[in-house]
Amino acid sequence: MPIDRNTIKLLRIPFSFFLAPLFLFAYSQAEVVMHRQALWSFLIIHLLVYPASNGYNSYIDRDEGSIGGLEKPPLPTIHLFYLTLFLDVAATVLAFSFVNTLFAVCLVLYIGASRAYSSRQVRLKKYPFIGFLTVVVFQGAFTYYMSIAGISGEALRLDASNIFVLLGCSFQIAGAYPLTQVYQHEQDKREGIITLSYKLGYIGTFVFTALMFLLCNVFYYLYFTSRDLGMVFYIVQVFFIPIVIWFGVWFWMVWKDRRQANFRNTMRMNWIAAICMNSCFLVLIIINRIPLSYLSSIETAVPEYGYAQETLTDFYLRSTDDLTTRRKIRIVAGKTGIEKRYSVIGDFDKKPEAFEFFNKNATLLPEPGLTQRMQLYQKHATALSRKAVEKIADFEHIKKSITHLITVTCTGMFAPGLDVELMRELDLDPTIERSAVNFMGCNAAILALKNADAICRSNDGAKVLVVCTELCSIHFQKRYNDDYLLSNMLFGDGAAALLVSSKPDDGYLHAVKIDGFNSMILHNGYSDMAWQLSETGFIMNLSSYVPDLIRENIKPMLNAVGLKAGDYRHWAVHPGGKRIVDDFAAALELDKCLLAPTYNVLKNYGNMSSPTVLFVLKEVLEKAKPEEKRDRIFTAAFGPGLSIETMQLQYV
């Protein structure tokens, strides 16, 4: 059965452009997007269902005057009727086959309502209010709901904000629909159809439309503000401006001359509205689909051996008989602000004859070599890392969606490395992309997070597992220069694991968005924090000038990148040492109470190198309060070079 050009013309396929905004709006707002199904949904609705509805309406009404999209429509034939049936059946089959059942069921209901609206047997369109409500509900809220089902594969959750958006969509159609009928009054009357627009009259239709769009805006405002997206509402208003201008001009023209309520002016209104709304929602899609990065689920772990600072001090004291050295050890220990540290080594509270790692004598000589220290690292690093990772809530389920693994360490190395060991121990997907941040010191966690942030911003759906593990205590050495007096009294062992993803989750009271990073290298501190490999372990350089360098440079650094300390209410600062924290607070004129989490971690764990700042950040995030939404968090850590790394976060 041949299908002529006029039959195709009566499908009014280009008219789908005017009906596309609600689908695009749904695409921009869907929490989950299944792109293949979303494409199928769009094609099914706009190339099959809408044209079928247009064609069926034309076949039943046999319009001789202008109709939406056609100023001079041709007369329909029976071919049009059969084509509309074919399109509806094809749409339903494709929906069940390539989208999902919920979408397909919604589609069948929409087709049924569309047929009931036009058919001679039911003819809902001849009833001004029932016909109006049918269009408003099915082309408004129902279309948005159906679109979400197709785009995300899930039913729209009917919470307050989504009820607001459904009402907004319906009022948007409620405003537009009577206006599209304003030029058809006489033609509809000849066919025995009394539309709402006819009952309202020309001026009444414009007034009614203005009221409906006002209500539409009210509910869109409630929707966006309830989701803390108030700025998006104002973006929408910018796109509404041309619509409002032409609406006002056209209203004035009709006020002066009723003949201006004609087909051409109506189509001009349709084109302006469709171009503006489609453009608006395409912009929202771009805004909402640009991947961001969110931090969640920081978990920490320490070894089984925990020692009071006094115990570790006594161990160090017993290694020397020099009274001056012993006095220096006591002075340094008393100023650290540390009460407890952890270690994988069980020797620190034992008598020499019970030592398992150190040589069994009070002098500790000969000291363990680098080989022994790396063997101890390999023995414990993976287990401690796994201990932290497995604390992540529902990790067995989450691990299936992890796309990247970043490991961080500077206290040991072996191959295959910590990353491969963790993949095997945790049974992670062998195709996960992995990388390692090695030998970069106390600020390496922020460097790893910078990499995770870049991954998430460039890969929609990325989920990055970051694991920082340091066994600082295995590098305890029998040295008594100023560098080792500091390092032996500061450092402990620990691990931290966290997830960074391109989508927010409910790991904390508020989602934690990563806002940015800044770095600075202080070349005049090049030798003040450094270490090198040696036959007996890592040789540490940790100068007492480090706090001075940080104090003198942290504020100029923030000024250079336009950051103000007053903009941040929460601080997660790496506790490199008590004086470093004190001087950091003084340099930025911060109340030390703001650094309470930093002091707490220093007190209870010491400096564990890279994971330490994550211990602090974990404490900050777990103390979040409902009223702190939108608050900003500043994170800083200090490493070799001397380098300062900062990260800015925000509760959203």
Residues carrying an active site annotation: 442
Rounded-to-integer distance, Cα 321 and Cα 326, Å: 7
Alpha helices for 290-369 (secondary structure H): 309-317, 323-335
Q: What is the DSSP letter of 525?
A: G
CA distances from 358 to 306, 319, 333, 372 (A): 18, 11, 22, 10
294 bridge partner residues: 501, 513
**Cis status, amide bond into 642, omega within 30 of 0:** yes
Burial of 532 (0-12, 13-18, 19+ CB in 10 A): exposed
Rounded-to-integer distance, Cα 45 and Cα 41, Å: 6
Q: Which residues contact 336 (CB under 8 A, 6 or more apart)?
A: 309, 489, 490, 577, 578, 602, 606
CA distances from 136 to 131, 142, 169, 643 (A): 9, 9, 9, 61
What per-residue string of b and e applies to 266-282 under the rule 16 or more CB within 10 Å gives b? bbebbebbbbbbbebbe
Rounded-to-integer distance, Cα 234 and Cα 212, Å: 19
236: closest CA among 249, 250, 218?
Answer: 218
Residue with tokens 């129902």, as numbered in its chain: 142
CB atoms within 10 A of CB 9: 17
Rounded-to-integer distance, Cα 522 and Cα 639, Å: 10
Rounded-to-integer distance, Cα 349 and Cα 346, Å: 7
**Cis status, amide bond into 416, omega within 30 of 0:** yes
357: closest CA among 366, 458, 166?
Answer: 366
CB atoms within 10 A of CB 611: 32
Q: What is the DSSP letter of 501?
A: E
Rounded-to-integer distance, Cα 590 and Cα 582, Å: 10
Rounded-to-integer distance, Cα 609 and Cα 598, Å: 13
